[in-house]
Chains A and B, each alone.
Chain A
Amino acid sequence: MAMVQRYFYNVKHSYDRLTDMFYWPMMDLLIWGLTGLYFAKLGGDSQHATTVLLTGIIFWIVTWRAQYEITTNLLSEMWDRNLVNIFASPLTVYEWISAVTIFGGLKMIISLLFSAGVAFLLYQYAFLQFGLWLFPIVVSLVITGWAAGFVVAAIIIRFGMKVQTIAWAGAYLIAPFSALYYPISVLPDWAQKVALIFPSSYIFEAMRQHIFTNTISVDKIVISFAINLVFLVLSICLFVLSFNKSKQMGLGRLI
């Protein structure tokens, strides 16, 4: 709980963190929502085009935020020259992992509710249209974000602040293959094969199916959970290995 408290104080004092939670999601919703409306008018299918874009944005915020929280919380220890302080305490690396996932999860829920609220106000977009399916969809996307977050964190804990840009760019590496706004079928053949590896692609496909047919593919959600489970376990193992490797050289060099 001490680390959750530590990251809560970070948000309380940092305008950057508040901007991350509210400003950028709002800008994304404005730009893509209006773009969706415009293209829909050109194509004549206003309802579906806007819904696909808005749902894509809101669901992507879930994955992106889950990844971002893990990596920026790790980086904040380096920026504050506080890394040695926390890992010279009784805190274990697994407790740190738990803290960043719990805290990231809480912040993601706030961002998600805020984005859904803004989408409703601006576009009368009904986020709750997915009903109870919303729960497994969001959980699956969060796990994808956590897995991506621990892979990125593994690189940062190993190489330090010189690679910090991947904290922001990390999740976007899987975005094109996740097919946020378009079906996987529009990707080139090789990219379609790559997309099958990423659990998020199954969720976004299921999301579009629901929008267009009002049915949901349970198979796709189950597959996404199965892949997610493997990814999450592997990413945590990678982070712990990288942390231990970094400890061989000394965590003090990272601050």
Chain B
Amino acid sequence: MSQKVLEVKNLTKKFGKFTAVNNISFEIREGEILGLLGPNGAGKTTTIHMLLDVMDPTSGTISYFGKNLKEKRSEILKQVNFSSAYISLPWLFTVEEVLRVYANLYEVPHKEYRIKRLLSEFEIEHLRKKTIHMLSAGEMARLLLTKAFINYPRIILLDEPTASLDPDIAVKIREFLRRQQKEYKVSMLFTSHNMAEVEEMCDNIVFLNNGKIIAKDKPENLSKQIPESEVEFITKHIEETKKFLNSQQISFVQNRNTFRINIKTKEISRFLTLMASQNLEYEDISINKPNLEDYFLKMSERRNL
């Protein structure tokens, strides 16, 4: 089994009487991508800020590479980096100036080579002399990622890394991240509101709600926790179908000849057999199995109740 890169134990953050992060524990292994999900206010950013040592926890411990963050801060942070959609960079600097400063801050060897290589990887070499405040949101996101990889990090914390990127660039960024994971065994903590992206990228998910971990599993296993699938079909037998669904006490949404129902996934085949036995033919059918987004919505709904 690969070694633990990050280990969080009983981490708690209180602001007065309010508990933002409540006794959470998780770990990330070498080369693992862990998704940190949860609705707004769940405690994701608070957790990330504690992991970066820009916020002190109320209690609990954070260890990277088997070393305590409080005790070996500088040594650890040389091998850690992050990118967040919620922070910026000195807005009057040029792109290369910003990267030079951060390369020096992290004591990166062969700085100019590293900067050139990363600018090329993220396809922003042409922005080298451009001032930060002239960058588009997508260019800025790519520059923040360039800064995040400047120090050959062993673990990287990514808070919405592909927010505001065009889909084609987002695909390239994901490919780059995957390559870093596979070739260099870079571990990642990943937050995103794009559930398809999280499902694609993450090996494991930690789901936070009200500061607590309410689920910790592989993305596909979390999706399976939603028992119902959505079945949508088109039929000519409108009246007969309505009658049949009512007799089965299945609620439905009808739009002309299209019906949409939610039904337990394991009962779909029985339902379709029953329809066939009633001679209710359908012209087209789609079965949407639950995905991570459905899980996210379900969990967020539960929070709002």
Contact = CB atoms under 8 A, between A and B. Distances in A.
Interface string B75-96: 1011000101011111111000
Nearest to B51: A88
A89 B105 contact: yes
A170 to B, nearest CB: 23
A91 B105 contact: yes
Contacts of A135: none
Interface size range on A against B? 20 to 34
A85 interface: yes
Contact of B56 (A2, A13, A86, A248): A248
A219 interface: no
B10 interface: no
A133 interface: no
B74 A92 contact: yes
Given A1-B104, A84-B49, A248-B56, A10 B87 contact: no
Given A84-B49, A250-B49, A252-B55, A2 B104 contact: yes
B15 A90 contact: no
A62 interface: no
B54 A84 contact: yes
B55 A250 contact: yes
Contact of B101 (A9, A87, A248): A9
A249 B46 CA distance: 10
B152 interface: no
A193 interface: no
Given A250-B55, A251-B55, A88 B88 contact: no
Nearest to A4: B104
A81 B92 contact: no
A183 B39 CA distance: 64
B58 to A, nearest CB: 8
Given A1-B104, A81-B87, A249-B15, A90 B93 contact: no
A5 B45 contact: no
A80 B74 contact: no
A92 B73 contact: yes
Contacts of A10: 90, 92
B100 interface: yes
A3 interface: yes
B52 interface: yes
Contacts of B87: 81-82, 84-85, 252, 255
B97 interface: yes
Contacts of B78: 90
A64 B131 CA distance: 31
Nearest to A15: B92
Interface in A212-255: 244, 247-252, 255
B105 A86 contact: yes
Contacts of B97: 9
A9 B90 contact: yes
Contacts of A9: 90, 92-93, 97, 101
A14 interface: yes
Contact of A5 (B52, B77, B101, B131): B101
Nearest to A92: B74
B105 A252 contact: no
A6 interface: yes
Given A88-B54, A251-B55, A6 B106 contact: no
A250 B57 CA distance: 9
A9 B46 CA distance: 31
B90 A90 contact: no
B150 to A, nearest CB: 10
A80 B91 contact: yes
Contacts of A1: 104
Nearest to B84: A84
Specify which of B15, B91, B92, B100 lies most central, judged by the most chain A CB atoms within 10 Å of its CB: B92
B59 to A, nearest CB: 12
